[in-house]
Amino acid sequence: MSHKPSAISSGFSLRVRLTLWYGTALAVILLTFATVLYVEMDRELKDQVDGSLEEAAKAAVHSLEQHRFGPFLQYEDLSAQFPELAVLDKFFQIFSPTGKITIQSPHIKNRDIPLSRTALETALTGNTTLESVRFQGDSPLRLISIPIIYEGTLTNIVQVGTSLQPVEETLHRLLLILLVTVPVALLVALAGGWFLAGRALRPVETITIAAQRIAAGDLTQRLSVPRSSDEVGRLAVTFNDMIARLETSFRQVRQFTTDASHELRTPLTVLKGETELALRRPRQAEDYKLVLESSLEEIDRMTRIVDELLFLSRADLGEVKMESIPVRLDTLVEDIQRQATLLGQEQDVQVTLGTVTPATVQGDELRLRELLLNLVDNALSNIHGPAGKSKSAS
């Protein structure tokens, strides 16, 4: 499945992407906070208005029920008896059971605020109504209508109202504050995020520069490891370990190349010399046979050299598992002497073994056997003497 980079990640540096992601997340959080704050403030203010209206309306209803006056034709008479009705930020209306206004606050006499059908129908059932109304060209009003029931009959409906303009003004100011503070806070946070992202990514930039130098062939470069053991610190340690292994590998490759060229130069020179000598003039078949046998010996020697170099290279890389067990050197040398005797017979060399002192070492018996056998083989190959004469090695 192919993976397509997102719009934010394509074409931007890591620092820019981190800042954009941080800014996007913060913007969502700030907008959510502003929305919740505005909604909760609206609910709280309206709850306070409703509580105030309900308290004033219940006080008026209680007073009316206690005194049982006849029909009040003037609001002044009512307010003289009940001062709680003369509240400047509220207005009162008393309706008949049919919904007709019987008493009205003086400061709303020029306004027509009828009893709604819903409030009248609810009052007939003996329940209270809370509602918001808005008249054309006027601020919204919040109204509470409470029925007065006397001996099971609806006698009056008391309605208390107030303007919601202060609430709207408060919400409007809050909205302006949020529209100013949220973008400013977001910009400040983005600037801080840009700075912090740059500071956090500074070690990564150092790693990038070091990697570029290493790509140019300088494997001695190392990163300064910060004191903190955070992700960047662990990355620096891992990077240094990786470069150290690379440097070791390249050094081993160069050493292998040097050793191979040095070790193979001699047998190749011998092969070339003997071949050139054989081709200078026609020779007998026996002479060509001797040249081919000598060439085969040099080829075998080169094969052993290559195998040994490969073994050493694999050992340096940790690919060869070496056993560590007690090995009797005296017994091992006696076995090598028997094998060397067979090899010496082919070259008319008598192999003898001197006094062997018992000794035990910790090591890999197979590798020790190969090492000693190679030493003996090389020694036998370098013993020269007149043909037909016996030679000895000990």
pLDDT, position 237: 82
Which runs of E-coded beta strand occur in 80-152?
Answer: 90-95, 101-104, 129-133, 141-150
Contact residues for 157 (Cβ-Cβ < 8 A; gap 6+): 94, 95, 96, 97, 99, 115, 119, 120, 123, 145, 146, 147, 148
pLDDT, position 12: 74
More confident position, 6 or 268: 268
pLDDT, position 219: 74
More confident position, 71 or 120: 120
Phi then psi for residue 271, to 5 deg, are -60, -45
Assign 296 a pLDDT band (cuts: 50, 70, 90).
confident
Assign 73 a pLDDT band (cuts: 50, 70, 90).
very low
Is 243:214 a contact under the CB 8 Å cutoff?
yes
Computed over its alpha carbons, how large is the radius of gyration of the chain? 53
d(CA 190, CA 104): 58
In sequence order, which ranges of the chain are alpha helices (DSSP H)? 14-67, 75-81, 117-124, 165-215, 231-279, 285-316, 329-346, 365-381
Q: Highest mean pLDDT range out of 54-58, 254-258, 324-328, 372-376?
A: 54-58
> Could you report the per-residue pLDDT of 305-322, keeping only the tens digit for each?
777 777 766 766 666 666
Q: Could you tell me whether strands 141-150 and 129-133 are parallel, antiparallel, or unpaired per DSSP bridges?
A: antiparallel
pLDDT, position 216: 67
Which tokens sit at 289?
């046979």
- Cα 103 off chain centre by: 72
pLDDT, position 360: 84
Contact residues for 22 (Cβ-Cβ < 8 A; gap 6+): 189, 190, 193, 197
Which tokens sit at 356?
């062997």
pLDDT, position 183: 93
Assign 59 a pLDDT band (cuts: 50, 70, 90).
confident
pLDDT, position 46: 92
Q: Give all domains of the chain, ordered by start, each with its CATH number.
A: 14-170 (3.30.450.20), 219-320 (1.10.287.130), 323-384 (no CATH)
- The region of weakest confidence among 108-117, 242-251, 292-301, 375-384 is 375-384
Q: Is pTM, for the whole model, over 0.75? A: no
Q: Is the pLDDT of residue 249 over 70?
A: yes
Q: Is the pLDDT of residue 174 over 50?
A: yes
User: Which amino acid, one-letter code, is at 352?
Assistant: T
What rounded mean pLDDT belongs to the chain? 78
Q: Using the CB atoms, write b or e for 151-172: b if 16+ within 10 Å.
A: eeebebbbbbbbbbeebeeebe
Contact residues for 226 (Cβ-Cβ < 8 A; gap 6+): 203, 232, 233, 236
Q: Is the pLDDT of residue 8 over 60?
A: no
Is 41:49 a contact under the CB 8 Å cutoff?
no
More confident position, 234 or 171: 171
Residues above pLDDT 70, as percent of the chain: 78
Q: Is the pLDDT of residue 80 over 80?
A: no
Q: Is the pLDDT of residue 394 over 60?
A: no
d(CA 140, CA 171): 14
Q: Is the pLDDT of residue 366 over 90?
A: no
pLDDT, position 391: 52
Assign 385 a pLDDT band (cuts: 50, 70, 90).
low
Assign 35 a pLDDT band (cuts: 50, 70, 90).
very high
Q: Is the pLDDT of residue 348 over 80?
A: no
More confident position, 297 or 190: 190
> Could you report the per-residue pLDDT of 134-147, keeping only the tens digit for each?
876 677 889 999 99
Interval 37-60 mean pLDDT: 91
pLDDT, position 306: 77
pLDDT, position 379: 73
Phi then psi for residue 86, to 5 deg, are -90, 60
d(CA 247, CA 335): 41
Phi then psi for residue 24, to 5 deg, are -65, -45
Interval 228-253 mean pLDDT: 78
Q: Is the pLDDT of residue 164 over 80?
A: yes
- Given the structure tokens 């819903």, which residue do they identify? 118
- Cα 80 off chain centre by: 74
Q: Highest mean pLDDT range out of 78-82, 233-237, 376-380?
A: 233-237
Interval 230-249 mean pLDDT: 79
- The region of weakest confidence among 27-41, 75-89, 132-146, 331-345 is 75-89
